[in-house]
Amino acid sequence: MSNFVQEQLREYRNKNENIGRLIIKCPDQPGIVAAVTTFLKEHNANIVELSQYSMNPEGGTFFTRIEFECPDLKKQGEKLEQEFQEVADQFSMEWKFNYVSDLKRAAIFVSKEPHCLLELLWEWQSGDLMMDIALVISNHEDARATVEALQIPYYYIPANKDIRKEVEEKQLKLLQVFEIDLIILARYMQILTPDFVAAHPNRIINIHHSFLPAFIGARPYERAYDRGVKLIGATSHYVTNDLDEGPIIEQDIGRVNHRDSAEDMKKAGRTIERRVLARAVKWHIEDRVIVHGNKTVVF
């Protein structure tokens, strides 16, 4: 199966070798789109898809994501970036060129519950998540067979709060060796240190359950059951040092009723979590998510 995935990814890279994406955030002012699109035109880059959003038009913030096609992009990219600096300076831009054929390299962190990992692997095999899954790191051995069957390296690193520092050192070394761009916490269930988080700004995606009203603290499903909620939700977000409070990428819910036990609600929650996480990851690797303060713009 894995050879099939590799081939599929290769084909995707080839097909998109001339497709780039320019992501910009800057103070809003007149003339930004004109300047950027004129630059692209003068550099032979044809716009495929342009999304733009101005938060609070006056005195606010400007966001854009431009997907473009440019002949011989592999060679031209560096030149584009160098020459774009002038435009960027003029408007005080935060900006980035991404190249679709440079697939993002993801590490999936997983604990005992496999549902989110399995969904990601599934969507990846189906051609819905165009990224390299470089490795899986887990504090349990449970998922090894499934992961290795897809020829993805599996690293077992036992973890608990007493050895957090040593565990993270091992993890960081692996992330470096495998040149990881993106960390996906697929129900990893371990708290990351502020240092670890700070080293990967807007590069760690997490998933957790959500309820209306919220049940903060222990045993949320049991409490949701006791309260007779009619909806079970999940939220996927970037990890910051405010626990479960980082910028939200995607949320969704499912319906439950009085017949559902706390255990049934957990099952329903798992179905929603895997769907929401997969969507958030997809949008991230397509460069659709721009973080601004504690919010996201999702193009």
When the beta carbons of 15 and 165 are compared against its own copies, the nearer one is 15
Q: Which is nearer to its own copies, 128 or 166 (CB)?
A: 128
Work out how close the CB of 20 gets to its own copies at its nearest, in angstroms, rounded to a whole number.
13
Selected from 7, 72, 122, 243, the binder of its own copies by CB under 8 A is 122
Does 226 engage in binding with its own copies (CB under 8 A)? yes
Pairing of strands 182-185, 105-110: parallel
CA 190 vs CA 163, 164, 196, 206, 238: distances in Å? 11, 9, 12, 11, 15
Return the structure tokens found at 141. Answer: 């051995």
Residue pair 276/127 in contact (Cβ under 8 Å)? The answer is: no
Minimum CB separation of residue 199 from its own copies in Å reads 23
Q: Which of residues 230-259 bind its own copies (CB under 8 A)?
A: 230-231, 233, 235, 247-248, 250-253, 257-259
| Catalytic residue (one of 72, 128, 195, 244) | 244
Q: Is 242 a catalytic residue?
A: no
The piece of 5-13, 79-87, 88-96, 212-220 that touches its own copies (CB under 8 A) is: 212-220
Describe the strand order of the beta sheet including 248-255 as a list of residue ranges: 154-156, 132-138, 105-110, 182-185, 204-210, 231-238, 248-255
| Geometric angle at alpha carbon 289, from 126 and 250, rounded to 5° | 70
Q: Please report, as residue ranges, which positions from 25 to 54 form the binding site for its own copies (by CB under 8 A).
A: 29-34, 37-38, 40-41, 44-54
Q: Pick between residue 179 and residue 217 the one whose CB is nearest to its own copies.
A: 217
Cα→Cα distances 81→112, 246, 273, 299, Å: 43, 30, 38, 22
For residue 122, the cross-strand partners are: none
Helices 32-42, 73-91: crossing angle, 10 deg rounding: 150
Side-chain half-sphere CA neighbours of 75 within 13 A: 2
Query: Which lies closer to its own copies via its Cβ, residue 196 or residue 220?
Result: 220
From the list 22, 130, 10, 15, the residue with the least C-alpha distance to 81 is 22
DSSP 34: H
- Shortest separation between residue 78's beta carbon and its own copies, angstroms: 21
Binding string, residues 162-201; x marks residues near its own copies by CB under 8 A: ----------------------------------------
Cβ at position 145, least distance to its own copies in Å? 6
- 50 vs 199, beta carbon nearer its own copies: 50
Instruction: Examine residue 128 and tell whether it contacts its own copies (CB under 8 A).
Output: yes
CB of 38 to its own copies, least distance (A): 4
Judged by CB under 8 A, which of 90, 214, 241, 243 binds its own copies?
214
Among 212, 219, 241, 243, binds its own copies (CB under 8 A): 212
- Other CB atoms within 10 Å distance of the CB of residue 41: 12
Question: What does the CA dihedral 229, 233, 239, 243 come to, rounded to 10 degrees?
Answer: 0
Tokens standing for residue 294: 């504690």
Nearer to its own copies among residue 39 and residue 178 (C-beta)? 39
Give the integer Cα–Cα distance in Å for 240 and 197.
6
Q: Which residues are catalytic?
A: 244
**Which residues of this protein are in contact with its own copies, per CB under 8 A?**
1, 29-34, 37-38, 40-41, 44-55, 57, 69, 115, 118, 122, 125-128, 145-146, 149, 210-214, 216, 226-231, 233, 235, 247-248, 250-253, 257-259, 267, 270, 293-298
